[in-house]
Structure 1
């Protein structure tokens, strides 16, 4: 399949891909190549009909009983994180093999490739990609997964309307005056000084797991819609899952992401506001605790009947 989108998607998604020059010269910070221009410079999909990110209106989400719990493979392993990289547009962490997800009404097992982050300009200028009921959060973490049956072939995956599955976690400030918390996030942010220039990367030492980076999040509660990659070429190949509960991170750690990493060398701009603006709404479905509530009420009613 020979088209520009496939070339760039490989650059974005495959950890081993070499991307000396992007097929599409997109950016976040310049009016000549920021997201306003993407529908023009990447016309195949960036002006499509199921684009991401979107504003999720919780009251409009349709309850779907098929949205069951996920199974997360090796998310508890403290050796699953392989490398952290400054791509010049974001901070990306690639995984060792064996990290996977299934369930959640996905059609098959998906291999987890990497996570990356989107942020604004410090805590005061939020930069999540998705918003919920119009609220934009300080940061957003995306875990990118590919159908296991494709064996890492992203050209096939981006040509499949459900070839990729992205898990979106919204990040907000931890309450109180905590600093350097959670410890896993403080450790993650400590790598930023080693990848301050675009293209730099270092190995991640054993000690942090994906579970450590998602503390307190009930991963049975989420929103679901069919959308796209949020960067060119915006391939409409993504099953999106955005979790309802947020990851709580102290303000000082959030602020570090918009202070250290440069687009290219040390004289280039700092990476800030690396998020795409909202796209037209899509049909959103959601999990529900109704079944649990009904079951509890049923047991209570049975208990009362037995007592009479």
Structure 2
């Protein structure tokens, strides 16, 4: 009985403990996606997991999905630092940047954004797919309920504690010769964060609006899901925008040929995305008459 009680207690603690970022990965079979639940990330075996394939014909109309209100997304000093986390490239944001509306329960603080990709423009690596199509890259802006005071540990205890804004990134169409200068500026920092753990400050000059150019943020899909990385908490209100960000092929290729999973002798960071999970109920705005 003592051994059984200790075992149950240990499992309970493992279930609640924050994920050890060294205990999971994308690139090594010993710690890649199939092993996440076995490594103690129990939420990854949940029933409301992300990402999903969005079947556009099955998305239910919801008139409550009104436009968002973005505060300080136009600020050219919003971006604070850019970091190679060993799993992705993450950009931290200064405080005072928020999003509300869009049928969110309250105002959310925008904390950071990060990216997911495959292996250059030839191997797409978005997390979500639409009607089975996977895009080259995907950008996630992570937001937490303002009542949580930017405390994500507190936010994941609420089923709607986090709101993720997902944007697909794809190659510019033929005939378009110039990409947004903001993206060329942002990716110029990649050579300064080639190794895991490296981080540099971002010089003012790039706004979130600049990076989201071309996207009609009134058109989106909505569902309730999870973090797409361990511990996979089911605490995320997902918004997946229909329009794509368009950049050059060369820029897409930069991510998989510049940043590494560890140091200069480690592999390049490629295929940093989770596979599709079980379908969830998806909503969208009613078609305009």
SS in 2 for 1:187: helix
Query: Matches of 1:23 and 1:143 in 2, distance apart?
Result: 20
Q: Out of 263, 279, 282, which is 2:280 matched to?
A: 282
User: Which is further off, 41-50 or 102-111?
Assistant: 41-50
Match of 2:129 in 1: 131
The higher radius of gyration belongs to 1
| 2:52 is the alignment partner of 1:54 | yes
Pick aligned residue for 1:226 from 199, 224, 227: 224
Aligned equivalents of 2:198 and 2:54: distance in 1?
35
Q: Secondary structure at the match of 1:45?
A: helix
Give the alignment partner of residue 115 of structure 1, picking from 113, 116, 120. Answer: 113
Q: CA deviation at 1:23?
A: 5.7
Provide the residue aligned with 2:64 in structure 1.
Answer: 66
CA distance in 1, matches of 2:286, 2:21: 42
TM-score, normalised with respect to structure 1: 0.87
CA RMSD for the aligned pairs?
A: 1.5
- Equivalent position to 1:146, from 137, 140, 144: 144
Kept after mapping to 1: 8 A contact 2:98/2:109: yes
Contact 1:92–1:115 (CA<8 Å) still a contact in 2? yes
TM, length-normalised to structure 2: 0.93
Question: Is the 2:41–2:230 Cα contact (8 Å) retained in structure 1?
Answer: no
Q: Unmatched 5+ residue regions in structure 1?
A: 9-21, 294-308
Work out the CA distance in 2 between the residues paired with 1:161 and 1:41.
23
Partners of 1:110 and 1:6 lie apart in 2 by 25
| Runs of 4+ with deviation above 4 angstroms | 1-6, 177-180
Corresponding residue for 1:215?
Answer: 213
For 1:7, the equivalent position in structure 2 comes to 18
Check the 8 A contact 2:18/2:231 in 1, yes or no.
Answer: no
SS at match of 1:36: helix
1-side partners of 2:21 and 2:122: how far apart? 34
